[in-house]
Structure 1
Amino acid sequence: MGLVSFLKSRLVSPELNEHIDSIRKPIGTLGYDPWGYNNDTVKYGFSLVKPIYEKYFRTEAQGVDHIPAEGPVLIVGNHSGQLPIDGILVGYALASRKKNPRIPRAMIERFFPTVPWLGNLLNEVGAVLGDPVNCARMLANNEAVIVFPEGVRGSGKLYRDRYKLQRFGHGFMHLAMKYKAAVVPVGVVGCEETIPAIANIKPLAKALGVPYAPVALPVVLPAKVHLNFGPPMYFEGKDLTESEMNKRVEQVKTEINRLIDKGLNERKRLF
């Protein structure tokens, strides 16, 4: 038995193998799609994330069935926690749901593909470079896409600013309208406490070429995570003024804030 076959037999259960194979993806004869997605890599990743999702963060996901079973979808949430743990947990929640599971694509920061090996690995589990062109191609391909419009403003925020939404970019709204994509808001509670940062050393971040250099404990704390997905929102029309576009973005932010508050009210303890 080769190494790959051995790992597969140890990590991937027959049920998981069948589950992932049942989620149709337009992959080629070599097992990859044009953006590098690979079914086998997803199976390994899925099996490794499962205990993290269920045991370490004890994630509770409500409303994940709000995400449409097909067609273009933008899953829009609050970003937090220094590392993209929130995106991983949101993706697992959708991919593991019993009825009509989907493997979403995630828009990642430009920094990650510059790390040796990491860029290719992220591509193989469904992530793509987070720019409007890639997102547009995903939606045109009827994919579900995870986006965090706060970007690094959200993921790198300090602990004192936890659960305060930062400025949203408008790109996701333009794309939602153009591709008639459902916008499914999600409030993420718990990831702010996984790697709480008290400061950001900007000169060091600039010297290292990274988005931020947080002053934080070098561990990921096992905070309990709540994911609350809201009903899909649809936005029609074109050639809107900047003011009209702002109002639509604020509608989404308001719903995400509501879902964050819901998660905070549901939370009994941090860990």
Structure 2
Amino acid sequence: MLERFSDKVKKGLRGWTERMAGEQQSDQLQALARTENEYGVDPFGFNLDYSLAAIAPFMWLYRHYFRVEAYGADRIPPGRVLLVSNHSGQLPLDGAMIGIALMVEGNPPRAIRSMVEKWVPSLPYVSTFMARVGQIVGTPENCRRLLEAEEAILVFPEGTRGLNKLWPQRYQLQEFGLGFMRLALETNTPIVPIAVVGAEEQAPALMNLKPVAKLLGFPSFPITPTGTPFPLPTKYRIYFGDALHFTGRADDEDSELDKKVRTVKASIQAMLHQGLKERRGVFW
């Protein structure tokens, strides 16, 4: 009985997803490539049907709450690719919006994978959900295996430094790690820079209570104007840049890798500046 109820819920959510996507973009969802084995999942636990049901509330956010506009989603090259984006907003909704943009507006549509922090799967009930919707712990080995399988992987080199930045630091890119560049060179993978405008204002952090965060085992404990990380209905604009190709050795000195990383970072920062210049306001 519980299984039948679960199937009914998933079917209802899948229908909700398709209705919000609209007829044309529902066809996009149907065209997503499947990678499941005979058990309905891929080696990392991803299940496309589960994912299409699970994204229903995020599709609503995409269409009606954040009213996302995506530019250049057709620039994603086929095959393996690293999608490198700025990160902000206290909750990782920017990643979800990027994922939906490439599902419904990519050409061809792509179901992307995201690298999540190592502490995320320790949260109750989260580990299985994350696996089913294609999110995996961000280890080099996991990323390498997915790239070898020709997947598109979303990474946030700022990590929690970007996600939990304070209000005065908005749209100022924080330090980028070098790991994504090592993997790009090792696997001959192109990098597509992405800039998200709008997420910075969805839950502005006025201060970070580090002692409380340490006590709770969280990376940060931001204080927002609403007292919660619940996002404000800001207007999202997502910009996809042209693919960047790099040559060199994965085991080069950090200084050499950092030069390449700064090229990616500069591309993202330029798109952020342009997006901020062009937008009419935070909420429209």
The TM-score normalised by the length of structure 1 is 0.94
Shift of residue 39 of structure 1?
Answer: 1.7
User: AA paired with 2:85?
Assistant: G
Distance 1:260 1:163 in 2: 7
Distance 2:101 2:200 in 1: 18
Structure 1 stretch 17-26 or stretch 37-46: which is displaced more? 17-26
The one of 30, 53, 76 aligned to 1:44: 53
Partners of 2:29 and 2:104 within 8 A in 1: no
Q: Superposed, which structure 2 residues align to 1:81-230 within 5 Å?
A: 81-97=89-105, 99-216=107-224, 217=226, 218=228, 219-230=230-241
Residue deviations 1:224-261 (CA, integer Å, cap 9, x gap): 01101100000112143332211101100000001111
Distance 2:69 2:278 in 1: 10
Distance 2:38 2:196 in 1: 37
Structure 1: where are the runs of 5+ without partners? none
Q: Indicate the residue corresponding to 2:255 in structure 1.
A: 243
The TM-score normalised by the length of structure 2 is 0.90
Shift of residue 137 of structure 1?
Answer: 1.2
Distance 1:88 1:127 in 2: 10
Shift of residue 93 of structure 1?
Answer: 0.6
SS of match in other structure, 2:114: strand
Q: Indicate the residue corresponding to 1:254 in structure 2.
A: 266
Aligned-pair identity (%): 41
Q: Indicate the residue corresponding to 2:8 in structure 1.
A: 6
Partners of 1:80 and 1:156 within 8 A in 2: yes
Distance 2:44 2:175 in 1: 29
Distance 1:116 1:214 in 2: 21
Shift of residue 263 of structure 1?
Answer: 1.3
Partners of 1:198 and 1:214 within 8 A in 2: yes
- CA RMSD across the alignment: 1.7
User: AA paired with 2:239?
Assistant: N
Residue deviations 1:82-131 (CA, integer Å, cap 9, x gap): 11111001111111126310100000112211111112111110100012
User: AA paired with 1:234?
Assistant: H
Distance 2:96 2:169 in 1: 22
Distance 2:43 2:26 in 1: 22
Q: Indicate the residue corresponding to 1:61 in structure 2.
A: 70
Structure 2: where are the runs of 5+ without partners? none
Partners of 1:80 and 1:157 within 8 A in 2: yes
Partners of 1:21 and 1:39 within 8 A in 2: no
Distance 1:223 1:112 in 2: 25
- 1:234 is aligned to 2:242: no
Structure 1 stretch 97-106 or stretch 81-90: which is displaced more? 97-106
